[in-house]
Amino acid sequence: MRDDAMKDRDDLDILLDAALATYADPGLLPGLTSRIVASAHGIDSRRRPVRWLPWAVLALAALVLIVALFTPHNLTHRTALPPVAQLSPRPSVHVPTTPDPAISIQPTAVRSNSPRTVKTLYVANPQQPLPRLEVFPTPTPLTSEEQALVALANRNLGDNTQSFARSQTQPVEPLRIAVIQIPPLNPPDNGGN
Amino acid sequence: MASDEDEEFAGLVKRQSPFVFRVAYAILRNSHDAEDAVQETFLKLYRSQAWRKIEDERAFLARVAWRMAVDRLPKKQPAFAEPESEPLSTAPTPEQEVIAANRHASVHCMIDALPEELRQPLALSAIDEMNSREIALILGIPEGTVRTRIMRARQMLKQKLAGLTEKRYAR
């Protein structure tokens, strides 16, 4: 009986070792290695664009900079325009002083912060663009009223300049300040206010 | 995967994936989960480029795979399972022959029912004759603790198997 028990103990060890040997060995799944390598390859292919991404960003930034520098808007600003006096005379263009009825300028009442004042703003209708003149208007000669106004302004300016220059040439006399005499205060009479 | 480094990584996968798979399977006891853990292990290494600096690739991979597998392990463990029949019977009856053919499966059930702290060292000890020092490195516990736990696990299993054998003699 005891020998049988001892034999069973040995059998148990053998059984246990045999079972343990197969416990963690189910047999390798077919294609496991290739699947892992393929997954790594997928990661690699996703990672590769990152390598040239900085260069692409730099190239794009440079392109944007070049486009911004050489746009027609900037070119027109950089071109030196001839002075107005050298321009050939152009036919005067009549600029209407009254609003064009084709342009609908709608008064818009805007209530300001003050409750009593209401400001009226004229806002052009954004759907109807402003009239575009074919030739930029050249300065027209001054009218007689404008010439008279200019002459008046120049004359007054000359008078003021002359009076100022005259005041500067005259010697400055020292100021004389009279001695200030302050009489002592008399005490109020008894019984008086 | 055209560069030499990628070929080197593919070589590492071919060389170590069976071992890593066994480590993961020993913990998870499910082929699909184990494969996922193996893939995750290698892909993590590939992403971090850590595989280039490995000194002991077997121990390193076993450690990473064990962590991956443990993370996938369900929290709830099954209760200690009693084999429904006598696994050690060698009687020539057809019924007992079927039972004998499933002896390993019955022992596997017993191992599965062990507490995790005992089951994992025991299962790892069955993989490629992994020694207690390697198991200690993987589990992050002292080598003496590994030996103690393996011994306790084997004792528990043998007691269970002996009880079944005594039942057979008692008949």
Looking at residue B100, its pLDDT comes to 54
Looking at residue B90, its pLDDT comes to 46
Q: Let me know if residue A100 belongs to a domain.
A: no
Model confidence band, residue B80 (pLDDT cutoffs 50, 70, 90): very low
Q: Let me know if residue A30 belongs to a domain.
A: no
Whether residue B161 contacts residue A12, with contact meaning beta carbons closer than 8 Å, is answered with yes
Which domains does chain B carry?
4-72 (1.10.1740.10), 94-170 (1.10.10.10)
Measure B77 CA to nearest chain A CA, in Å: 18
**What ipTM was reported for this prediction?**
0.70
Q: Which residues of chain A have pLDDT under 70?
A: 1-9, 28, 43-51, 72-127, 188-193
Q: Let me know if residue A39 belongs to a domain.
A: no
Q: Let me know if residue A67 belongs to a domain.
A: yes
Q: Is the pLDDT of residue B86 over 80?
A: no
Report percent pLDDT > 90 for chain B: 13
Nearest residue in B to A4, CA atom: B169
Q: Looking at this protein, which amino acid is placed at residue B127?
A: I
Nearest residue in B to A43, CA atom: B47
Looking at residue B167, its pLDDT comes to 65
Q: Do B126 and A4 lie within an 8 Å CB cutoff?
A: no
d(CA A92, CA A76): 24
Q: Is the pLDDT of residue B92 over 50?
A: no
Averaged pLDDT, B125-132: 84
Task: Note down the domain range covering A72.
Answer: 53-78
Nearest residue in A to B20, CA atom: A28
Q: Do A18 and B104 lie within an 8 Å CB cutoff?
A: yes
Averaged pLDDT, B84-101: 52
Could you tell me which residues are beta bridge partners of residue A118?
A: A111
| Residue B79 burial (C-beta neighbours within 10 Å; 0-12, 13-18, 19+) | exposed
Residues 6+ apart with CB under 8 A from B10: A37, A40, B1
**Residue A182 C-alpha from the chain's centroid:** 67
Rg for chain A, CA atoms, rounded: 51
Looking at residue B153, its pLDDT comes to 93
Looking at residue B89, its pLDDT comes to 46
pLDDT digits (tens, 9 = 90+) for B11-69: 888 888 888 888 888 888 888 888 889 988 888 888 887 777 778 888 888 888 898 89
Q: Let me know if residue A70 belongs to a domain.
A: yes
Considering its fold, how many domains does chain A have in total?
1
pLDDT digits (tens, 9 = 90+) for A27-80: 767 788 888 888 877 766 655 556 677 888 999 999 999 998 887 665 555 555
| Closest Cβ–Cβ partner in A19, A28, A36 for B108 | A19
Q: Let me know if residue A173 belongs to a domain.
A: no
Chain A hits for B31, Cβ within 8 Å: 26, 29
Flag the least confident range among A153-157, A173-177, B145-149, B163-167: B163-167
Looking at residue A9, its pLDDT comes to 63
Q: Let me know if residue A57 belongs to a domain.
A: yes
Tell me the pLDDT of chain B averaged across its residues: 79
Chain B hits for A40, Cβ within 8 Å: 1, 6, 9-10, 13, 42-43, 46
| Closest Cβ–Cβ partner in A12, A26, A33 for B31 | A26
Model confidence band, residue B149 (pLDDT cutoffs 50, 70, 90): very high
d(CA B128, CA B123): 11
Does the beta carbon of A6 lie under 8 angstroms from any beta carbon of chain B? Answer: no
Q: Is the pLDDT of residue B70 over 80?
A: yes
Q: Let me know if residue A40 belongs to a domain.
A: no
Measure B120 CA to nearest chain A CA, in Å: 11
Whether residue B166 contacts residue B62, with contact meaning beta carbons closer than 8 Å, is answered with no
Looking at residue A38, its pLDDT comes to 83
Looking at residue B147, its pLDDT comes to 93
Of the two residues B89 and B122, the one the predictor is more confident about is: B122
Looking at residue A154, its pLDDT comes to 83
Q: Do B21 and A4 lie within an 8 Å CB cutoff?
A: no
Query: Chain B interface residues facing chain A, Cβ-Cβ under 8 Å?
Result: 1, 6, 9-10, 13-14, 17-18, 21-23, 25-26, 31, 34-35, 38-39, 42-43, 46-47, 88, 103-104, 107-108, 111, 122-127, 154, 157-158, 161-162, 165, 169
